Copies of this chain bind each other. A is one copy, B any other.
Amino acid sequence: MTKSDLEMKAREMLKAAKLYCTSGRIDILLVLMKAGKPLSQNQISKRSGKNRFDKVTIYRTLESLLSVGLVHKAFMEKRAWHFELANHCTERQCHPHFTCTNCGDTYCLTEISLPMAKSPHKGFVIHRQQVRLEGLCPACA
């Protein structure tokens, strides 16, 4: 897929979601598509190349992408929020994220999925489940 193919895809995603098609949104979508793993505001900023958006803009952009479901917050034990494209995800369950306790890298384990937890009787209604794994990555094991 060429660079402009990706950009076309980003535009289509925004259009389908009825969001204004701005350079900030396109740029951030491209960064997330290329990254293929959850990124923080800071990481997104660094990867935005020549277009440097204000951090407020990045947060507000992510918020708008979140609100239409194009992006998810990933469940990670880090200080900063991490965002990723909401693909590979069902309505009820995102793929697990694995973080290496040695090198700190995080991987999306899109091949794995756990059965949904069963509600513990007393009337909890479970809508969504997120799983976080930690251990050693191939390089550190």
Contacts and interface: CB of A to CB of B under 8 A. Distances in A.
- Count of identical protomers in the assembly: 2
B137 A124 contact: yes
A107 B138 CA distance: 35
Contacts of A77: 73, 75
Contacts of A117: 96, 109, 112, 114, 131, 133
Contacts of A127: 101, 134-136
Contact of A129 (B107, B115, B132): B132
Interface string A91-112: 0000010100100000101011
Contact of A120 (B109, B118, B129, B131): B109
A44 B81 CA distance: 23
B112 A118 contact: yes
10 contacts: A96-B117, A107-B124, A109-B120, A117-B131, A122-B138, A123-B137, A125-B136, A127-B135, A129-B131, A132-B132
